[in-house]
Amino acid sequence: MISLALAYLRDRPLTTALNVLLLAIAVAMLVLLLQFGKQASERFDRDARNIDLVVGAKGSPLQLILSSIFHVDQPTGNIPLSAMTMLRRDPAVARAVPLALGDNFRSYRIVGTDESFYDLYGVAFAQGRAFDGPMQAVLGAKVAAETEAGLGQEFVGSHGFRTDEAGEQAHDHAPFATVGILAPTGGVVDRLILVSYESVWDVHGIAHELDHEHDGHDHLVDDRDHADEGTDPPALQSTGTGPEPELTALLVTYRNASGAIRVPALVNRQTEMQAAVPAIETARLLQLLGASIEGIRVFAWLLAATGGLAIFVALLNMARSREGDLALLRVMGASRVQVFATIIMEGLFTAALGAALGWLGAHVLIGAARANFATLADLGFQAWSPVAGEAALIAAVLAIGAIAALIPALRVYRIDPARVLARS
């Protein structure tokens, strides 16, 4: 009877294909939503773990969070080095990790920081050691794997966060030497290159204490060292902060709960900087996306219901047009349950095919999007990382198929073979 159910489906290929397509689109949309929600949420949680506050230049707090924790957006600007000293002296602050951003190597961000970064993310070394001097670099696991860099190898950073950015300029004069490679963390650290923040200043000749802005972002430069950067010299500006070097942001961990009350207020009211709380900003981001996501989710379920309705109509028509065939099966010895099951199986097979194609399509789509949209790759989206909700979703779609087949199957169950055959 299974082969008969499959044969009936093959016998009306267009109807079957359309029903499968409807369900596949619905399932693909729902799987994408599940994947996006799960992976983004997990990623946010993992990367923001232990970070209670981000202190950076004034601007969008969400942008500050995205650029400093998830490394997917442009920084809001620079802050004075003295901010780190101030925060580290605060009794409510357990840790203030400096970040000096602005350069990349093959689109992997070079992060100027210090040894506190290792503690914050709890990283372990796969090879080599931590940087302990100027122009030494530690590569994240993914950076090392993708660039095939090994210990002792040298590389040159470039301005900006993408190697394909217009006007990209390489710091040929200041190569970094690889001294360590981190073990995989499954987080943002895997795609970062860690150096001392002093090295970032060295690359940009911070001795001149000048700040410039070019190719769409701010960072620290030195006019002397840009002599080799072609005919587009950066516009030089005084930082107005004297000789003090600058940082991009500080990742803060509180020592106790009082920090959450006092430190953000202190930063926001008494300095030119802003303090952004990752939990609040990511919640706000998810809330902003939430309405759209819910809309898409409702639409996808409506599509799935439409698919179920299409299966119902197709099977009801089939039950009518093949009443004679099914009556004959009864005469030949098929039980009521067997002909009932034939129709249910048709509904289930259609739903299963739609669910399988939709699931596969969604994961292939994530893979393709990941390959073509750098932000998704930067956020660490994985194409083949099934979540538990997908099994429930597929079960729900199978239930839709079975429910859609129920009335046609009951109609067939009640067939009186003699009456049907006599009528025909």
Partner 1 sequence: MELAVGGIGLSYGGRRVLENVTFSLASGEHALLLGPSGSGKSSLLNIICGLQTPDTGDVTLGQRPVVRNGLLCGADGVRKRHMGIVFQTLRLVSALTVRRNLLLAQHLQTGARDPGGVDRVLDRLGIAHRAKARPFELSQGEAQRAAIARALVGNPAILIADEPTSALDRDNTKGVAELLAETAHDAGASLLIATHDDRLRDYFGRTLALAEGRLAG
Which positions from 291 to 330 touch partner 1 by CB under 8 A, shown as an x/- string? Answer: ---------------------------------xx--xx-
CA pair distance 77, 367, nearest whole angstrom:
33
Q: How do beta strands 235-238 and 210-214 pair?
A: antiparallel
Residues 34, 11: contact at Cβ < 8 Å? no
Among 332, 384, 388, 414, binds partner 1 (CB under 8 A): 332
Q: What is the DSSP string of 50-79?
A: T--EEEEESS-HHHHHIIIII--S-----E
Q: What are phi and psi of 57, to 5 degrees?
A: -70, 155
Q: Is 418 a residue that touches partner 1 (CB under 8 A)? A: yes
Among 10, 89, 269, 414, binds partner 1 (CB under 8 A): 10
User: In the bound complex, what is the minimum distance in angstroms from residue 1's beta carbon to partner 1?
Assistant: 8
Q: How far is CA 106 from CA 156, 229, 242, in A?
A: 10, 18, 33
Name which of 270 and 424 has its Cβ closer to partner 1: 424
Is 175 in a helix, a strand, or coil? coil
Name which of 2 and 392 has its Cβ closer to partner 1: 2
User: In the bound complex, what is the minimum distance in angstroms from residue 319's beta carbon to partner 1?
Assistant: 14
Q: Is 417 a residue that touches partner 1 (CB under 8 A)? A: yes
Q: Is 14 a residue that touches partner 1 (CB under 8 A)? A: no
Name which of 11 and 272 has its Cβ closer to partner 1: 11
CA pair distance 326, 319, nearest whole angstrom:
8
Residues with Cβ within 8 Å of residue 335, at least 6 apart in sequence = none
User: In the bound complex, what is the minimum distance in angstroms from residue 412's beta carbon to partner 1?
Assistant: 14
Q: How do beta strands 217-221 and 210-214 pair?
A: antiparallel
Q: Is 337 a residue that touches partner 1 (CB under 8 A)? A: no
Size of the site for partner 1 (CB under 8 A): 19
Among 183, 298, 331, 399, binds partner 1 (CB under 8 A): 331
Question: Which residues sit at the interface with partner 1, rule CB under 8 A?
Answer: 3-4, 7-8, 10-11, 324-325, 328-329, 331-334, 417-418, 421-422, 424
